[in-house]
Amino acid sequence: MDTQMFCFQCEQTAGCSGCTSSRGTCGKTAHTAALQDQLTSALVDLARVAHRGGVATQETYHRIIEGLFVTVTNVNFDDKAIETYTQGVREHMRELAAHAKVELPDAYNVETLWQAEDTLRSLKSLILFGLRGMGAYAHHAWVLGYTDESMNRFFVEGLASLADETLSLDDLIALSLKVGEVNLTCMALLDKANTKTYGTPSPTEVEMKIEPGPFIVVSGHDLHDLYLLLEQTKGTGVSVYTHGEMLPAHGYPELRKYDHLKGHFGTAWQNQQKEFAQIPGAFLFTTNCLMPPRDSYADRVFTTSVVGYEGLQHIGEDKDFAPVIAKAKELGGFGQTQQFFGTNGGTVLSTGFGHGTILGLADTVVGAVQSGAIKHFFLVGGCDGARSGRNYFSEFVDQAPQDSIILTLGCGKFRFNDRDLGDIGGIPRLLDMGQCNDAYGAIQVALALADAFKCEVNELPLSLVLSWYEQKAVCILLTLLHLGIKGIRLGPTLPAFVSPAVLEVLVNTFELAPISTPEDDLKALM
């Protein structure tokens, strides 16, 4: 493969086939892509040593989980940081091998995966990308002190399998679905970590305005970083606003209690270069999705945890956010209240409809279905992105029948979450269930409804219409397939790494289908 780089892990990959030039569509350079490949190769080697010697430690698991997260799309663009992660992985591998008295394996090169036969490449990519997404969720749980030994062992098994040339295609298909099974455990763990730490989310309305005075906008998914920032900004006169996937933080009682957590700024992640340009506040990225910052605001952007970009100030493990606070004070904020708007001109967003809240309404929901007031449920969620065609999801919601409920999660909701869709018997028609990792909650709601109606999930008046962008969406899709959920509509394009042969299996087994038009899909799903 005579290319400057090769990457096809995200939905926006060039030509729907793969980024191969000097810079990927996400903004990473060919050199950065090569360093991420080296990190991936090192992680596979570490997993092989740990698997062979049976001597994985908590440090082993942490380095694997953290390293996988670093390679997720739009997380880390800092070459030096990636090199440091790789060095740490290889040093730990050598220590582990010496302790277990096992020989170091011949170095694995992930480029052999990119160059493999089409179907083999497809299945191993599906495993790798699913592990990367699961690594992100496991990392969120880890920082809150929650982990799971069986999940950790599977990270080792799954990564080691990438270098195993003896596995058949059937073995790899089974392993792909195993990723989905273990990811269900991972999402359950994260749900427990979040709710035990910050309480059960409850419905709340969040305003899209910024009040006078200095402020910090927090983006990403890591609730712990937001909590630490809220603690450090108490009494400083600095307000805090959420951005992107941090919006659901407002639903958690232990975060909502901070009166200087004011509201939400901006729409989906891919609009940040335009939306950040004229804002006199500091920005903190806790996880993905960071876009290469423009010069007009780069001096106001800070990163922490696994996020990095060359030239930006990084807040290390000490989590001392003093530089972010100082920058916010220096900028001063707005002199008067500024009203901002959602994608469709709305000014208020609703969130906090987690599975705890929805299941608390189970009797009401069941009654509404039995009476015919609710005819159908649509889960319209997932990742947003810049590729044309994503207006499909807002049009789908617009055209959904008035007697249907729209469940949503992930950043894809910013296409329509500022709209007032009304209610059915007091139940809002649009229910924001949270971040992408809160797909676990949507699964629990589906299982509870199936139990209430004494039927299988696939027999419910429930349809899944999902958008995808990066690898967390991949592992969630694998979880849904593991559960046997059929008829999922996926868009705006199908993954480039899914070969025709693998796609045929997914279509025949799970009735997975690409989106078409809102009109045609609604007819097919109702």
> In this structure, what are the phi and psi dihedrals at residue 261, rounded to the nearest 5 degrees?
-85, 100
Question: Tokens 């440091």 correspond to what residue?
Answer: 84
Question: Tokens 């429930």 correspond to what residue?
Answer: 462
Domain residue ranges of the chain, discontinuous segments joined by +:
25-197, 204-339, 353-525
The Cα 282–Cα 374 span in angstroms is 44
What single-letter amino acid sits at 253? Answer: P
Domains 25-197 and 353-525 share a fold: no
The Cα 524–Cα 245 span in angstroms is 31
Q: What is the pTM of this model?
A: 0.96
Any idea what the Cα angle at residue 89 is, between residues 83 and 92, rounded to 5°? 140
> Is there a contact between 156 and 107 (Cβ–Cβ < 8 Å)?
no
User: 444: Cβ–Cβ under 8 A, 6 or more apart, which residues?
Assistant: 355, 359
The whole-number pLDDT of residue 484 equals: 95
Four-way CATH pick for 204-339: 3.40.50.2030, 2.60.40.3080, 3.60.130.10, 3.40.50.1010: 3.40.50.2030
What is the residue-wise DSSP string for 314-345? EE-TT---HHHHHHHHHH--BSS-EE---TTS
What single-letter amino acid sits at 438? Answer: D
The whole-number pLDDT of residue 3 equals: 80
The Cα 13–Cα 35 span in angstroms is 18
User: Can you give 166-196 as a three-state secondary structure string?
Assistant: CCCHHHHHHHHHHHHHHHHHHHHHHHHHHHH
Domain made up of 25-197: CATH architecture: Up-down Bundle (1.20)
> Is there a contact between 6 and 114 (Cβ–Cβ < 8 Å)?
yes
How do residues 2-39 score in pLDDT, each as one tens digit? 689 999 999 999 988 999 999 999 999 999 999 999 99
Instruction: Retrieve residue 330's tokens.
Output: 């220096």
Of 47, 81, 52, 77, residue with least CA distance to 64: 47
The whole-number pLDDT of residue 34 equals: 97
Using 70 as the pLDDT threshold, list the residues of the chain that sit under it.
1-2
| H-type alpha helices, 223-309 | 223-233, 253-256, 272-275
Question: Tokens 């219409």 correspond to what residue?
Answer: 465
Of 427, 411, 420, residue with least CA distance to 353: 427
- What is the topology classification, in CATH, of domain 353-525? Rossmann fold (3.40.50)
The Cα 437–Cα 381 span in angstroms is 11
The whole-number pLDDT of residue 2 equals: 62
The whole-number pLDDT of residue 295 equals: 95
What is the residue-wise DSSP string for 72-95? STTTB--HHHHHHHHHHHHHHHHH
How do residues 340-376 score in pLDDT, each as one tens digit? 999 999 999 999 999 999 989 888 998 999 999 999 9
The whole-number pLDDT of residue 313 equals: 97
Of 401, 466, 404, 469, residue with least CA distance to 439: 466
DSSP type of residue 386 = S
Of 337, 343, 350, residue with least CA distance to 210: 337
The Cα 126–Cα 166 span in angstroms is 18
